[in-house]
Chains A and B, each alone.
Chain A
Amino acid sequence: MMEIGLNHYLVLSTILFSIGLVGVMRRKNLLMLFFATEILLNSVNISFAAISHFYGDLTGQMFAFFVIAIAASEVAVGLGLLIVWHKRHNAIDLDLMSTMKG
């Protein structure tokens, strides 16, 4: 209990990932959906760093860096698209984005 091992970090990562998934599934507002995806990416980063530490290998940290870079660019593009959508439709609800519905 007092000795923190790899499993503790993996369990924490699971809990955070499930919180993020709950957010992705229940949110209707697109901005809140982006927040939930940030939680998903961060929870994965924790497990990468933990595996990197407990196996003495730097690969996990490298992948965490690339995940951070991808998250940053995702936010830039996503927010740009969201602003364009908000200018046109004056709403950012997910239900309105059904123009490709057959």
Chain B
Amino acid sequence: MFEAIAFYLFSFLTIAMFYITVTTSQALYALSALAAGMIFISAFFFILGADFLGAVQIVVYSGAVMALYAFGMMFFDTTRDVKEKKGNKYLITGLATLAAILVVVIVSAPLIGENISAYYPMTEGAGNTQEIGMVLFTKYLVPFELAAVMLLVAMISGIVLAGKKMDLSLTLMSDREIIEMREEKNKKVLL
């Protein structure tokens, strides 16, 4: 009973928030609506008993990703209205719905089969976080490490792309060039 109420309430809220994100012409509204939608999605994870996933969803999406977007938006002119493509609205909606149904059919096609058994069944008497730790650090250790390397690469690329004067290398410059660069910098500060 309560599960049904929570499901319908949060699905309504999530759909409304994401609809605002997709249709609004203000970038700031879109960002706020997206952050709210992420929080509401974590409610589904809590309903489904995936507590750790819900906490990660809040921490990573609403914390890290939204903060990154907020910082990124400071670079762009966000007060201006976003221009829209003038396309056939019904065609776009129809194609999107068709593609989404296709994806869900592809994902859920194996579920229709008869003999489905769990690869890594849930352990009795263990919490969700404990179970995830046990599976993640045994069966999925290599993908986990690969994900860590990928995040490191993404972090370095983010720093290099967004940082200033990242095309200069102090180790490849002569001493005089470095001194000149520092003097120029000091001049700018004094001015």
A6 at the interface (CB under 8 A from B): yes
Which of A1, A22, A34, A49 contacts B96 (CB under 8 A)?
Answer: A22
Which of B37, B84, B116, B131 contacts A58 (CB under 8 A)?
Answer: B131
Interface of B is mostly: helix
A19 to B83, CA, bound (A): 19
Residues of chain A with a CB closer than 8 A to B119's CB: 57, 59
Asked if A46 contacts B21 (CB within 8 A), the reply is no
Asked if B34 contacts A22 (CB within 8 A), the reply is no
Asked if B157 contacts A17 (CB within 8 A), the reply is no
Interface of A is mostly: helix
A26 to B135, CA, bound (A): 40
Residues of chain A with a CB closer than 8 A to B157's CB: 76-77, 80
Given A10-B108, A14-B104, A58-B120, verify A35-B21 contact (CB < 8 Å).
Answer: yes
Which of A17, A70, A82 contacts B72 (CB under 8 A)?
Answer: A82
Which of A4, A26, A38, A84 contacts B87 (CB under 8 A)?
Answer: A26
A64 to B64, CA, bound (A): 17
CB distance from A70 to the nearest CB of B (A): 7
B178 at the interface (CB under 8 A from A): no
Asked if B100 contacts A31 (CB within 8 A), the reply is no
Which of B72, B111, B136 contacts A51 (CB under 8 A)?
Answer: B111
